[in-house]
């Protein structure tokens, strides 16, 4: 099976290393490329991708060039620091699916933000279902739906408590709230503004359009969240569950970006409406009396 353009090539990772040690990364799955997709896998992928409904807030788009690749947009669950965010995941099915689980990578952030103890900066998604963490493992009874449910499950109200090392070192008072503030900030800055201003080059156009549509629906929420959190400006962020500190909050800057995006989408929508109206008028004028 031929590799899709833009995938399965990385000068820093040798084919020998991947074949010997394996990989969690769907973009570096050269060990799967040479294997023929089994008929059982073909039927099951069709069922899991095309003939099923997905959890609320999940949008799935098959890749246009590679049957084993799927693009997924998960919107941050309501009532969590992720609310309103657009989280893009790349999913790749193995040639012997469902005997093995897919490989999944979070693309939002482009290796700059660790959104969750289970969602690494390099894109790794740590879930026992995927074989990337301890716990109940994958069985053929699982499917793409259960994976997406599990991802939504780790995007909860207090992601600080997802950190497994807390069972060893214990929790620190105030850290959960500080970490949630960081996640909320990066959701608005990176998973909203960043996803619209500089969309990932592999994100399908249909999902880009869905993001803009949902952005307009959530715009009032964004404004209210900025108003709620603006008192944090110039305070230092706690960027991980271990208490490490990073840059300072700048919700004022994020608000400017949100307003600019809203104006851009509104103007584009107005132009599309005018163009459609003009085409309709031309059709009416050109129709026979």
**Which of 80-94, 155-169, 204-218, 261-275 is the least confident region?**
261-275
Task: Find the catalytic residue in 58, 126, 184, 193.
Answer: 126
287 vs 56, 127, 227, CA distance in Å? Answer: 44, 60, 53
Max CA-CA distance within the chain? 82
Per-residue pLDDT reduced to its tens digit, 247-264: 999 999 999 999 999 999
Quick one: which of 33, 208, 220 has its CA closest to 108?
208
What is the average per-residue pLDDT within 75-87? 98
**193 is a catalytic site residue:** no
**What percentage of the chain exceeds 70 in pLDDT?**
85
Quick one: which of 160, 186, 171, 173 has its CA closest to 241?
160
- Output the average pLDDT for the chain: 90
- Would you say residue 23 has pLDDT above 90? no
Structural domains of the chain ordered from first start: 15-286 (3.10.110.10)
The Cα–Cα gap between 39 and 272 comes to: 44
Find out whether 248 and 237 touch, Cβ atoms under 8 Å: yes
Nearest-5° Cα angle at 277, 271 to 282: 125
Per-residue pLDDT reduced to its tens digit, 130-159: 999 989 999 999 999 999 999 999 999 999
pLDDT of residue 2: 37
């Amino acid at each position: 099976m031929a590799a899709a353009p833009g995938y399965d090539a990385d000068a820093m990772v040798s084919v020998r290393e991947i074949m010997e040690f394996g990989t969690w990364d769907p973009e570096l799955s050269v060990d799967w490329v040479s294997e023929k997709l089994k008929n059982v896998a073909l039927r099951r992928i069709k069922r899991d991708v095309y003939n099923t409904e997905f959890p609320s807030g999940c949008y799935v788009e098959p890749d246009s060039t590679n049957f084993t690749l799927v693009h997924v947009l998960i919107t941050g669950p309501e009532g969590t620091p992720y609310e309103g965010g657009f989280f893009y995941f790349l999913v790749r099915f193995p040639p012997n699916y469902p005997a093995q689980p897919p490989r999944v990578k979070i693309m939002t952030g482009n290796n700059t933000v660790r959104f969750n103890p289970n969602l690494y900066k390099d894109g790794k998604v740590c879930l026992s279902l995927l074989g990337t963490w301890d716990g109940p493992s994958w069985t053929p009874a699982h499917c793409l739906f259960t994976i997406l449910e599990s991802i939504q499950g780790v995007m909860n109200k207090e992601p600080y408590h997802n950190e497994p090392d807390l069972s060893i070192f214990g929790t620190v008072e105030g850290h959960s709230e500080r970490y949630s503030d960081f996640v909320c900030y990066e959701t608005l800055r990176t998973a909203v503004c960043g996803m619209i201003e500089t969309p990932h080059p592999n994100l399908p156009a249909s999902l880009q359009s869905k993001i803009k549509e949902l952005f307009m629906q959530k715009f009032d929420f964004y404004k209210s969240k900025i108003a709620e959190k603006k008192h944090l400006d110039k305070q230092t962020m706690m960027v991980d569950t271990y208490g490490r500190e990073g840059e300072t909050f700048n919700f004022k800057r994020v608000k400017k970006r949100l307003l600019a995006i809203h104006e851009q989408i509104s103007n584009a929508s107005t132009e599309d409406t005018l163009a459609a109206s003009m085409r309709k008028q031309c059709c009416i004028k050109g129709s026979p009396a």
